[in-house]
Every structure is written in structure tokens, then in C-alpha cells.
Amino acid sequence: MKHIVKIITLLVAISAVWIGLLEMSVVPRSQTWLLPIYFIVSLGCYGLLMVGIGLMHFPTCPQEAVLLQQEYGVT
């Protein structure tokens, strides 16, 4: 339940910033409408980065490998 609250809070904050930028005209309107797309693309890049880092630091467990080999009868 805590994660959903964090996600909703983040989405509300991002929406508030986006609407604020639209209303204040700090950023040109043609670029402001692209902000959600930029956010989705950057979120995807972040997700791929985290998966890559997780794979690079994937722990090896020799004890577990031995247990699995014993369980399936592989020598």
C-alpha cells in the first residue's frame, strides 16, 4: 500500500508542475505538451538502467547451485 501512495504522490506532483508550466508559459507551449512523452521515455531508460545494473551485480550462489544439482540428480 505504501508504494501506491508514493506513485500517486509523484504523479500528482508531476502533473502540478506540468500544469504550472502550461499556465505560466515559462516553457513554450509546443515543448510543454511533449513533457509527458519525455517523462515516459526517461522512466523507461531508468527502468532499463536498473535492470542492467541488477544483472551486472547478480549474485552467484555456489551453495544453491550445489543444492539444485543434488535435487535434480545432476553430478
pLDDT attached to residue 5: 86
What distance in Å separates the CA atoms of residue 15 and residue 7, rounded to the nearest whole number?
Answer: 12
pLDDT attached to residue 37: 82
What distance in Å separates the CA atoms of residue 19 and residue 35, rounded to the nearest whole number?
Answer: 11
Q: Per-residue pLDDT for the chain (75 aa), expressed as one digit of tens each?
A: 677 888 889 889 988 887 887 788 776 767 767 777 887 888 889 889 988 888 887 777 788 778 888 888 876
Q: Is the pTM of this model over 0.85?
A: no
What distance in Å separates the CA atoms of residue 54 and residue 42, rounded to the nearest whole number?
Answer: 18
